[in-house]
Structure formats: C-alpha cells, structure tokens
C-alpha cells in the first residue's frame, strides 16, 4: 500500500537531506573530521611555560582577590587511563588505593604549583574533575573549594557476574573544602551526594551552601547509545542540578554523611551534552557549555525567592568550531587603559579532533589536539550584541594534550610597552602539565 504520493516523498527526502546534511556538516566541523592536519600556534620560547607538577588537571579557576589559580589534579599519569568515569575508563579501580588526586594552587607570576595538604582527607580516594572556588563571605581571607570526586560505586557490583547493566560503576560526589589563602593546607568539611548527582562534571557556587552542577551524560558507559548521545545535537538528555546543603562552621568536625541536609532539584533539563559551567559578566549570569555541540549557552540564574521559576533561562548561544569544555569569563582589569579598549570576554577550551577521543582516551601515549577560543561581546547600534570569536591558541597535542579549561590573567600594559597582553593558562584532563602562553588580547 502506498502511503505517500511521490511528490511528498521527494519533498520529505529533500528535507531530510537538507537538515541532516547541515547537521552532519556542523558535526564534522565540531568533531574535527575535516581537520586532518591540526595546526600549532607559533610561540616564542620565552612566551610558553610548562608548570611543573600539574599532571592531568581538568579544571582551572582564577581567584581575583588573591591573584591565584586553583586546580584539582590527578597527579599520577596512569590513574586517568585505569579509572575515569567521564571517559568511560573503568578498567582498574584498584589503582585508587595507591594514587589520589589533589588540590593545587598556582601562582600566575612565578608559574609554580603547590599541592594543598588536606586535613581530614589525606588517604582518601580523590578522582578529580570540575572545581569551584568561592570567597567565604564571613572571612574574606579564606575560600571554599568545591570539587567533583568520581568514586567507584560502593555497592557490590563485582559480586554478580556479569554485573547488571543498571548498577552504575561510579558513584560520584562533591567534596567541600575550606582554605586560608596563602597557606599550603585545606580542610575537608563534608561530602555531598544526592540521587540527582549522576555524572557530575562541573559546578558553580552561588553561596557557601548552594551549587549548580552539570550531569554530562545520560548513558554512563560506552556503546551505541552514548555515541548517539554525543553525536546527535537533538539528544537533549543532560541537565543542570541545583543543590542546597548544610555546612557547619569550618572549625567543627567534618560531616560524615554525604546525604545529610542535602536538597536538590533540576534547574535546567532537555539540554544537549551539558558540561562546563561558569560564571558570567554579572552576578546572575551563567555560561553552560554543550561540549559535543560546541555551543556556549549564556543564561540567567533564577534570582532567589522573588523569582517565579526556579529554572535557568537560556538567553543566548555562542557557537564554536570545535567541542568546548569549561568556560571562564575574563574580566579585564585594565579595561579602557593603554589602547582604550575593554578586552573582557569568555574563554573556552576544547578538542581539535574530538572524534578520536573514544580511542585516544584509553591510550597513555596518544595526542589530543586543542583549540582555545575567546569570545568578546561587541555592542551593536540596535542595542544587541554580536559575539566576536577568535582562536587564542591551538596545538596539535605536542605541547599540551587535551584542553578542558583556559583562563586569562592580564599583564599590566606598562610592562609590555603599552601593548595589551595576557598569560593564557590552559589545562586538559589528560595534559601532562598546565601550560601558560603569552597572548595578545
């Protein structure tokens, strides 16, 4: 039986070719299928620094008041390849008994990294990913540090062979630390877990006791569905969760129950590949990266109890030609000086050839090319904004393997003969070190 007339069939086919063609072309660009020869930005030797002891640090934050960088690193070069749930690396969690990640503070002037000793926490597995740093409003010489920790699921999955598919291999949670700026220690305050925290990736704090966190995948293990989830931009299966939790005074003994006093709700759903999360230009602005679509969504956080909705509202989208990861907003401290221009903007780092990641992520010796983008808002006469995008740095994977976060730290124009320059710090989930590169703004 003929269901459709020939002209309807042709029209449908034409539409399918058109829409899928556009979609496939965009994907081919973002995933780097067409980037056969990844390029490397030329940098003078004096303008690139490899920071010692920064192995596999996924996230990076610049804390303006203390002029320091914070990161969480895996430290041991093998761990990620044996156990890292976000890359579906579940081969051998026994490595976690021996090697633990740690928090680091980097001085952007000296380019030296210091590991923090953590009271109440040393000796516990710490499988690092996204972090957040928040100045303690009660004690401005201190900060809260929030960090994702991808622990193995304590439920006895190993006892049943083969393990049932619906028992997740990881049970990731969030750790809360408190740190006195300028010291080499931190204190673990508590762990946070809630059933809505499934595949946490990155987080932002809106107060010491509230966080937004992304779940980066619906499908937790490799296979066709996870592949489809990444490749198909309409697979809007990820979300952002809002968490509120209790915190005792930093001096009291650590809370041992990760569920105690935690409430949560979905703050953004039906989102493709939610990944990095960052603060924006003003207090309630948020930047959410769709990693696999290469799109940075700029949105507004619900404003407390006065707001009718408790959901994030997406207002704007910035599209990039590669996958993207943790966004950061560079607020230019020398805006309007020297060249009279405000060089503030969003910085995002991603992969030049994301389509090879499924293969390279299991290989300690592989390379993952990187692309770091800068997007500045250019005001239009009609009051609107056009995002001017520029590649700040790219590499074929030799100087840095993978990029998941990048931040700009401005250089005083007087030290650069009036030129506007900055140090760009780039890090990756499998980079052997954080690199600092001097760039033009």
Ligand X SMILES: *[C@@H]1O[C@H](CO)[C@@H](O)[C@H](O)[C@H]1NC(C)=O
Which residues contact ligand X (rule: CB under 6 A)? 81-82, 91-92
Provide the CB-side half-sphere exposure for 436 (13 A, CA).
Answer: 23
Q: What is the largest CA-CA distance in the chain?
A: 79
C-alpha dihedral sign at 177, 180, 181, 184: negative
- Which CB, 91 or 398, lies closer to ligand X? 91
Q: How far is the CB of 361 from ligand X (least distance, A)?
A: 11
Closest residue to ligand X using C-beta atoms = 92
- Which CB, 221 or 284, lies closer to ligand X? 221
In 3D, which of 267, 374, 285 has the Cα closest to residue 324? Answer: 374
Q: How far is the CB of 229 from ligand X (least distance, A)?
A: 24
- Which CB, 92 or 257, lies closer to ligand X? 92
Provide the CB-side half-sphere exposure for 26 (13 A, CA).
Answer: 15
Phi and psi based region of residue 88 (left: phi greater than 0; alpha: psi -120 to 50; beta: remaining): left
Q: How far is the CB of 409 from ligand X (least distance, A)?
A: 37
In 3D, which of 23, 30, 37 has the Cα closest to residue 348? Answer: 30
- Which CB, 365 or 382, lies closer to ligand X? 365
Q: How far is the CB of 79 from ligand X (least distance, A)?
A: 11
**Secondary structure element (H or E) that encloses residue 285, with its range:** strand 285-290
- Quick count: other Cβ atoms within 10 Å of Cβ 142? 18
Q: For residue 359, which phi and psi values (nearest 5 degrees)?
A: -85, -50
Q: How far is the CB of 97 from ligand X (least distance, A)?
A: 12
Q: How far is the CB of 366 from ligand X (least distance, A)?
A: 12
Give the span between the Cα atoms of 233 and 317, in whole angstroms: 14
- Which CB, 79 or 427, lies closer to ligand X? 79
- Which CB, 82 or 135, lies closer to ligand X? 82
- Which CB, 142 or 402, lies closer to ligand X? 402
- Which CB, 91 or 310, lies closer to ligand X? 91
Give the span between the Cα atoms of 368 and 23, in whole angstroms: 24
Q: How far is the CB of 91 from ligand X (least distance, A)?
A: 4
In 3D, which of 252, 260, 281, 286 has the Cα closest to residue 132? Answer: 286
Q: For residue 134, which phi and psi values (nearest 5 degrees)?
A: -130, 125
Give the span between the Cα atoms of 282 and 286, in whole angstroms: 9
- Which CB, 92 or 388, lies closer to ligand X? 92
Distance of CA 162 to the CA centre of its chain: 33
- Which CB, 158 or 315, lies closer to ligand X? 158
Q: How far is the CB of 101 from ligand X (least distance, A)?
A: 18
Q: How far is the CB of 365 from ligand X (least distance, A)?
A: 12
Name the CA radius of gyration of the chain, rounded: 22
Instruction: Determine if the peptide bond prior to 245 is cis (ω within 30°).
Output: no
Contact 399, 411 (CB under 8 A): no
Q: How far is the CB of 92 from ligand X (least distance, A)?
A: 4
């Amino acid at each position: 039986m003929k269901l459709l007339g020939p002209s309807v069939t042709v029209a449908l086919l034409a539409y399918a070719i058109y829409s899928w063609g556009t979609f496939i072309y965009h994907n081919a660009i973002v995933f780097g299928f067409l980037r056969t020869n990844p390029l490397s930005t030329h940098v003078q030797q004096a303008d690139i620094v490899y920071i010692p002891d920064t192995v596999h640090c996924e996230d990076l934050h610049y804390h303006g008041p203390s002029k320091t960088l914070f990161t969480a690193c895996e430290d041991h070069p093998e761990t990620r390849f044996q156990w890292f749930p976000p890359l579906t690396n579940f081969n051998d969690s026994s490595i976690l008994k021996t090697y633990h990640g740690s928090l680091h503070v980097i001085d952007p002037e000296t380019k030296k990294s210091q590991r923090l000793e953590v009271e109440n926490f040393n000796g516990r597995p710490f499988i690092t990913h996204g972090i957040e740093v928040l100045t303690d409003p009660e004690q401005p010489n201190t900060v809260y540090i929030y960090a994702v920790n991808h622990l193995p699921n304590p439920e006895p999955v190993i006892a049943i062979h083969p393990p049932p598919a619906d028992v997740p291999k990881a049970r990731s949670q969030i750790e809360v630390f408190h740190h006195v700026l300028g010291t080499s220690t931190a204190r673990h305050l508590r762990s946070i877990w809630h059933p809505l925290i499934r595949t946490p990736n990155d987080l932002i704090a809106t107060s010491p006791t509230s966080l937004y966190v992304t779940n980066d995948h619906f499908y937790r293990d490799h296979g066709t569905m996870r592949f489809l989830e990444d490749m198909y931009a309409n697979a809007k299966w990820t979300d952002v969760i809002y968490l509120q939790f209790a915190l005792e005074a930093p001096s009291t003994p650590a809370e041992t129950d990760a569920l105690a006093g935690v409430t949560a709700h979905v703050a953004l759903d039906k989102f493709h590949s939610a990944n990095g999360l960052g603060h924006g230009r003003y207090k309630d602005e948020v930047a959410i990266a769709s990693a696999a679509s290469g799109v940075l969504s700029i949105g507004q956080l619900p404003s407390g109890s006065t707001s009718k909705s408790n959901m994030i509202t997406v207002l704007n989208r910035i599209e990039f030609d590669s996958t993207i990861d943790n966004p950061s907003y560079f607020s230019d401290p020398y805006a309007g000086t020297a060249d009279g221009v405000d060089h503030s903007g969003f910085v995002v780092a991603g992969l030049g050839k994301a389509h090879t990641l499924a293969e390279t992520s299991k290989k300690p010796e592989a390379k993952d090319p990187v692309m770091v983008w800068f997007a500045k808002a250019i005001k239009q006469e009609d009051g609107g904004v056009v995002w001017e995008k520029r590649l700040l740095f790219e590499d074929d994977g030799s100087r840095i393997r993978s990029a998941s976060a990048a931040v700009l730290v401005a250089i005083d124009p007087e030290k650069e003969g009036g030129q506007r320059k900055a140090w760009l710090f780039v890090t990756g989930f499998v980079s052997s070190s954080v690199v600092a590169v001097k760039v033009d703004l």
